[in-house]
Amino acid sequence: MNLSENVSEKFQLWTKEFNTAPPPRLDKKLVHKYLAENVFVSRVESLGTEQPDSFISQLAFESNHTFFFEHPLDHVPGLMLIEAGRQATIAISHLFLDVPYECVFIVNKLNTEFNIFAELELPVFLIGTVRNKRYQHGNLYEFQSEGNFIQGEQSIGFMNGIATLYHKSEYQHLRAV
């Protein structure tokens, strides 16, 4: 995969840090989780003003997670990567797209493709882009996100989807119907 110099440098720095200590985790509030052990995103950064809707994330996995590693595995499970991608998208929306924490995210469409196993002993990154943002009454209410899972500067998989956002009160009304 041909990474920009800026992204490649960031991945090298984060890989060096990964090799010396466990990666940090985002605040669970940013990814809508109650338990810190279920947060699979370490950090998220914007690619800057030249690519305002593109982001890089470092993912964080531990092979002792009680759900995803309930039996011995020698790789990061695909479903865990999908959950990490979903969490990165939620964090991006709060950190960079001004989505309030009171919003509920509904995944309407999700496509994934994995072509190489994600190894446990190497860091996994996600390069993501938000597209087709739709607003209602000045608030973001739907968008498409896509991302490439990267390990060792090589694409190991791809994920894209569409999400709709509802304020909690709207969501409760929708569910009551």
Kindly report the CATH number that applies to the domain delimited by 5-176: 3.10.129.10
Q: Please state the domain extents for the chain.
A: 5-176
DSSP state at residue 23: P
Answer whether 47's CB lies under 8 Å from 6's CB: yes
| Per-residue pLDDT reduced to its tens digit, 71-88 | 878 899 999 999 999 999
| Per-residue pLDDT reduced to its tens digit, 154-168 | 999 999 999 999 988
Residue 148: half-sphere exposure toward Cβ, Cα within 13 Å = 13
- 143 Cβ contact partners less than 8 Å away, ≥ 6 residues apart: 93, 97, 130, 131, 132, 133, 134, 162, 163
| Per-residue pLDDT reduced to its tens digit, 104-142 | 999 999 999 999 999 999 999 999 999 999 999 889 999
